[in-house]
């Protein structure tokens, strides 16, 4: 009986270890060399809690030294949370590119599209670059895809207050999740086609981007929180 009991304990320990081994890990990166968003601390706090609540390991940093080959091996996805400007050196860029090519994930939040303008590979990864925005205001978001894990909880028309980016170099072939109705707010410059969130498979990996996330208040929205964690789960291949 003791041998059987010991065997059961060993099996349980092995299963627990295997389960722990399968736990996903994410790097939250919020380095800025341009405009710095006041909401970065709130965004990091919110995203960290979402990850913890979903048993996803994480580390937050603003130090690009983590884009070393050995460091990146620890993670299954990287979140660019309101990054701006040129945040990686040439070696770090190559390491991150290989990271994505190995099948890993990328999540871009808001100013992630205001990052690395001189790196075409990154522009294609994020799916487009920020070019302008009007004042913070309420707008109507048309949810184009309500089957995706990041949008299935949303109403067909989502009324939300944020800073609404206009984009340039929007990549053809993106899977558009949400688009702005420019007639519902002032200052939009893209016209009838104004995507604000999308996903894609790119260069061996997965990428999700949302243009929301400028204000502190936006991170208090349960709808936005579910949108973020859904995008993260897509990048991590979690159903």
pLDDT digits (tens, 9 = 90+) for 72-99: 999 999 999 999 999 999 999 999 999 9
Q: Are strands 77-81 and 105-109 parallel, antiparallel or unpaired?
A: parallel
- Band of residue 6 on the pLDDT scale cut at 50, 70, 90: very low
The answer to whether the predicted template modeling score (pTM) of the entire model surpasses 0.85 is yes
Per-residue confidence (pLDDT) for residue 18, from 0 to 100: 35
pLDDT of amino acid 165: 98
Residue 181: DSSP 8-state: E
Kindly give, in sequence order, each residue whose CB lies less than 8 Å from that of residue 101, ignoring residues fewer than 6 positions away: 203, 204, 205
- Integer-rounded Cα Rg, in Å, for the chain is 19
Asked if residue 225 has pLDDT above 90, the reply is yes
The pLDDT-based confidence of 214 (bands split at 50, 70, 90) is very high
Per-residue model confidence as pLDDT tens digits over 144-200: 999 999 999 999 999 999 999 999 999 999 999 999 999 999 999 999 999 999 999
Tally of CB atoms within 10 A around 10: 10
Residue matched to tokens 């303008």: 117
* Residues pairing with 50 in the sheet: none
Contact 207, 108 (CB under 8 A): yes
Residue 15's pLDDT band (cuts 50, 70, 90): very low
Average pLDDT for the chain: 93
Sheet with 205-210, side-by-side order of all strands: 57-61, 25-29, 77-81, 105-109, 205-210, 195-202, 175-181, 137-143, 157-162
Pairing of β 175-181 and β 195-202: antiparallel
Q: At what angle do helices 40-53 and 222-236 cross, to 10 degrees?
A: 60
**38-65 average pLDDT score:** 98
Secondary structure (DSSP) of 185-215: SS---STT--EEEEEEEETTEEEEEES---S
Q: Is 28 helix (H, G, I), strand (E, B) or coil?
A: strand
Structure tokens at 145: 């895809």
Tokens of 231: 């995008």
3-state secondary structure of 178: strand
Per-residue pLDDT at 187: 98
User: pLDDT-based confidence at 9, cuts 50/70/90?
Assistant: very low
Residue 58 confidence class, pLDDT cut points 50, 70, 90: very high
Mean pLDDT of 51-58: 98
CB under 8 Å to 27, separation ≥6 — which residues? 58, 59, 61, 66, 72, 74, 75, 77, 78, 79
């Amino acid at each position: 009986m003791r041998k059987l009991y010991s065997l059961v304990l060993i099996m349980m320990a092995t299963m627990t270890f295997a389960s722990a081994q399968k736990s996903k890990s994410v790097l939250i990166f919020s380095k800025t060399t341009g405009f710095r968003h006041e909401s970065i601390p709130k965004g990091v706090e919110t995203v960290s809690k979402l990850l913890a609540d979903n048993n996803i390991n994480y580390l937050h940093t603003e130090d690009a030294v983590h884009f070393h080959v050995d460091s990146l091996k620890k993670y299954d996805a990287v979140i660019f949370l309101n990054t701006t400007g040129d945040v990686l050196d040439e070696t770090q860029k190559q390491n991150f590119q290989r990271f994505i090519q190995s099948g890993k994930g990328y999540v871009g939040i808001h100013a992630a599209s205001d990052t690395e303008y001189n790196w075409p590979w990154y522009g294609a990864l994020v799916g487009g670059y920020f070019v302008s925005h009007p004042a913070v205001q309420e707008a109507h978001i048309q949810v184009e895809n309500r089957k995706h894990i990041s949008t299935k909880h949303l109403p067909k028309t989502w009324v939300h207050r944020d800073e609404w980016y206009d984009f340039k170099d929007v990549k053809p072939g993106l899977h558009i999740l949400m688009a702005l109705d420019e007639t519902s707010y002032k200052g939009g410059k893209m016209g009838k086609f104004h995507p604000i969130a999308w996903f894609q498979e790119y260069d061996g990996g997965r990428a999700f981007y949302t243009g929301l996330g400028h204000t502190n208040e936006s991170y208090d929205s349960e709808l936005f929180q579910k949108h973020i964690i859904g995008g993260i789960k897509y990048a991590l291949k979690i159903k």
